[in-house]
Amino acid sequence: MLPEVLRKKVGIVFQMSVVFPMSIYKNMSYVLSYHGLNSKKDIDEIIEEKLRLAGLYKVH
C-alpha cells in the first residue's frame, strides 16, 4: 500500500497534542489542503462549521 493511501486510512494518536506552530485556522486548512481540498471557500466553510461545533468560533 502506498504511504499516502495508508496515511489517509490510519490516524495517529499522540500522548501530547501536536500541532504546527501556527494558528488553528492554518493547522486545519493544512490538513484539508493535504487531502486535496483546494477551494478556499470550501475550506473556510468546513473550518467555520467545525469551530462552531467545538464552541471555538466567534465573530468580533
Specify the pLDDT at position 36.
94
| Radius of gyration over every alpha carbon of the chain, rounded to an integer in angstroms | 13
Specify the pLDDT at position 60.
62
For 1-51, write each residue's pLDDT tens digit: 788 888 777 766 666 666 678 888 998 999 899 999 999 999 999 999 999
Furthest C-alpha separation in the chain = 46
Look at the pTM and tell me if it is higher than 0.85: no
Specify the pLDDT at position 17.
64
Question: Grid coordinates representing 17?
Answer: 497534542
Specify the pLDDT at position 6.
83
Between the CA of residue 1 and those of 9, 36, 42, what are the distances in Å?
Answer: 11, 19, 29
Count other C-beta atoms under 10 Å from residue 33's C-beta: 13
